[in-house]
Structure 1
Amino acid sequence: MTLYIGREASKLWKRVCAETTTELNLLADNWKYLLAGLVCQYIHGLAARGVHYIHRPGPTLQDLGFIFLPELGQDKAYISETLFSLIFLSFVLWTFHPFILKSKRIYTVLLWCRVLAFLVVSQFLRIITFYSTQLPGPNYHCREGSKLARLPHPQSILEVLLINFPRGVMYGCGDLIFSSHMIFTLVFVRTYQKYGTRRFIKQFAWMLAVIQSFLIVASRKHYTVDVVVAWYTVNLVVFFVDKKLPELPDRTSGNSPILLPLSMKDKDSWNKEENHKLLNGNSVDPADRRPRTQVNGKNLEDGNADTAMNGA
């Protein structure tokens, strides 16, 4: 038993080391995209902090969700945050499963580049929206009479730049349309829908997204319109941005030597070559896609390269 555990632990350690090496190589090529995505997360937080300074509390607007969904109350407002934290942490842990599990489909670095692209575009649209029209916040700390509903003018630029994290994020007001919680939730669920492998987890994730929507409204953290707009905006953003990005390599086949997605130029070149062979009645063999040596403007097979060079 001890020998078996030791052998499996050794295999796991080798797997972790091999995956770490692979991901570090990818990180060296893609760190700029990850850094840009993280900087945009800070800019989004800074914008949400800024709109709080111009927030003006007022009577809660009439809302269909407020009419049909009972109010949870301040003592139960943690329920929606707990569910969101569960979704967030579960997705983050799943993105690192290639380091441990033998069966893997994604590269962690490449996946996070894609996720951050979805988040950045969605958050950019969100910033434009909540700065265009400031609604009176429905949350308890944003209502009239609350000391947190208005922020005093900052004493220095440093006070704004530090955004009072995490308290400033938890008790923000004015950044309503559309829900930031739903941006993260829907981006994570859509990503797992495409790259995940467990069907029941996909169905469960969508169910959690729906429950999260109702809890946000029941907690009075957002108006119903904030959640509704998030549902169609984020899904459209993911749909169109995903089409513009190069497809991630699929690791399930296990026989693909290509680590990074092909460029569109490479894909077009391969497609033309395959179509040409099919028109000539030749089958397309994946093993035939090997580098060719170019001599005098002609592409030669590796085996004929030396002959051509000697005869030139």
Structure 2
Amino acid sequence: MGFSGFCDLKLWKRIWAETTTEINLLAENWKYILGGLICQYIHGLAARGVHYFHRPGPILQDAGFFLLPELGQDKAYVSEFVFTFIFLSFILWTFHPFILKSKKIYTVLIWCRVFACLIACQILRVITFYSTQLPGPNYHCREGSKFATLPRPDNMLEVLLIVPRGVLFGCGDLIFSSHMIFSLVFVRTYYKYGTQRFLKQCAWLTVVIQSLLIIASRKHYTVDVVVAWYTVNLVVFFIDKKLPELPDRSGAAALLLPLSKDSKTKEGISHKLLNGHSGDSAADWRPRSQINGKILEDGNVVHVEDGINGV
């Protein structure tokens, strides 16, 4: 077997071990993942529902519209491109443990935390945009556009079915920006659990640029973006305080998460830790030390406390 074949074999073994690990974690936490996906659908239904109430009108006076030049309808895709880049980059990063050796996170557990933050922010968002419907500043929401209002639905299926056109041409769900919710939650998550300082700085800069592009594209009022900045950051801050911290996968504490919380498991891990055993294989299901603090850029961690972690 050549060198390349040996490397391929090691890679497939790593992918298989990681897949087995994540499947076991998914078996324990599937309710949180499923609940998060269902809530994304409910949020989409709420955004479509408010479109039925939207009535076009004169665009409100806005400081951002005065300060930032209008990109125009033909360049509206620029902000969507930046958002798509942030969205896909974060998804790829959450799955990097399947490929790379430097494993800092568990994919399932990261997405459980992400969904918790998204759901809390989206609940606040739905309450806000149903409280007051503002005339949409986007081009398809203005007077004279056929997409500005939705006709009464003929049947329930039309209400429950979310089509891509409805997502792209929605109106009325303004305060606060959904694009900013996703972007800020993703960037804050990477800032806490990522390891590359330069990429963290680039991520924050990208979100700032996206904020300006959203306003310049007239997709949201400035207040929609401003409210998103402080609301999402506060929500993520308080949720992080409430949820148990994720385990670290590096150093002497590189033990896998427990699949059960019985006393025998706890006693077994205490004995193994005292004897200095550690591992990162799919077959070695032992709880690990819990980390209370973010992962530093150089791979070290701060303030380690012993304990069994959860999501």
Whether the 8 Å contact between 1:247 and 1:261 is mirrored in structure 2 is no
Q: Distance in 1 between matches of 2:19 and 2:259?
A: 19
Q: Distance in 2 between matches of 1:151 and 1:167?
A: 12
Whether the 8 Å contact between 2:175 and 2:223 is mirrored in structure 1 is yes
TM-align CA RMSD: 2.3
Q: Which residue is equivalent to 1:296?
A: none
227, 233, 241: which is aligned to 2:239?
241
| TM-score calculated relative to the size of structure 2 | 0.83
- Post-superposition, which runs of at least 4 consecutive aligned residues in structure 1 deviate over 4 A? 260-263
Q: Which residue is equivalent to 1:232?
A: 230
Q: Per the alignment, do residues 116 and 261 of structure 1 end up closer, same or farther by CA in structure 2, a change over 3 Å counting?
A: farther
Q: Which residue is equivalent to 1:255?
A: 253
Q: Which residue is equivalent to 1:41?
A: 40
Q: Distance in 2 between matches of 1:94 and 1:261?
A: 25
SS at match of 2:18: helix
Q: Which runs of 5+ in 2 are unaligned?
A: 278-311
Q: Distance in 1 between matches of 2:259 and 2:64?
A: 44
Q: Distance in 2 between matches of 1:145 and 1:176?
A: 19
Q: Which residue is equivalent to 1:29?
A: 28
Whether the 8 Å contact between 1:140 and 1:220 is mirrored in structure 2 is yes
Identity between Structure 1 and Structure 2 (%):
72
Q: Distance in 2 between matches of 1:154 and 1:6?
A: 59
Q: Give how far 1:252 is off.
A: 1.5
Q: Per the alignment, do residues 157 and 196 of structure 1 end up closer, same or farther by CA in structure 2, a change over 3 Å counting?
A: same
| Equivalences, count | 272
Q: Give how far 1:288 is off.
A: 7.2
Whether the 8 Å contact between 1:138 and 1:221 is mirrored in structure 2 is yes
Whether the 8 Å contact between 1:37 and 1:116 is mirrored in structure 2 is yes
Q: Which residue is equivalent to 1:302?
A: none
Q: Give how far 1:257 is off.
A: 2.9
Q: Give how far 1:4 is off.
A: 1.3
Q: Distance in 1 between matches of 2:178 and 2:259?
A: 30
Q: Do residues 203 (structure 1) and 190 (structure 2) align?
A: no
Q: Give how far 1:16 is off.
A: 0.2
Q: Per the alignment, do residues 111 and 64 of structure 1 end up closer, same or farther by CA in structure 2, a change over 3 Å counting?
A: same
Q: Give how far 1:38 is off.
A: 0.3
Q: Which residue is equivalent to 1:145?
A: 144
Considering only CA atoms, is the larger Rg found in Structure 1 or Structure 2?
1
| TM-score calculated relative to the size of structure 1 | 0.83
Q: Distance in 2 between matches of 1:258 and 1:216?
A: 42
Whether the 8 Å contact between 1:248 and 1:261 is mirrored in structure 2 is no
Whether the 8 Å contact between 2:140 and 2:147 is mirrored in structure 1 is yes
The aligned runs of 1:166-185 (5 Å cut-off) are 166-185=164-183
- Residue identity opposite 2:20 in structure 1: T
Q: Distance in 1 between matches of 2:12 and 2:124?
A: 43
- Larger helix percent: 1
Q: Which residue is equivalent to 1:215?
A: 213
Whether the 8 Å contact between 1:179 and 1:222 is mirrored in structure 2 is yes
Q: Distance in 2 between matches of 1:226 and 1:11?
A: 48
Q: Give how far 1:242 is off.
A: 1.0
Q: Give how far 1:45 is off.
A: 0.2
Q: Distance in 1 between matches of 2:260 and 2:10?
A: 31
Whether the 8 Å contact between 1:248 and 1:260 is mirrored in structure 2 is no
- Residue identity opposite 2:238 in structure 1: F
The aligned runs of 1:108-127 (5 Å cut-off) are 108-127=107-126
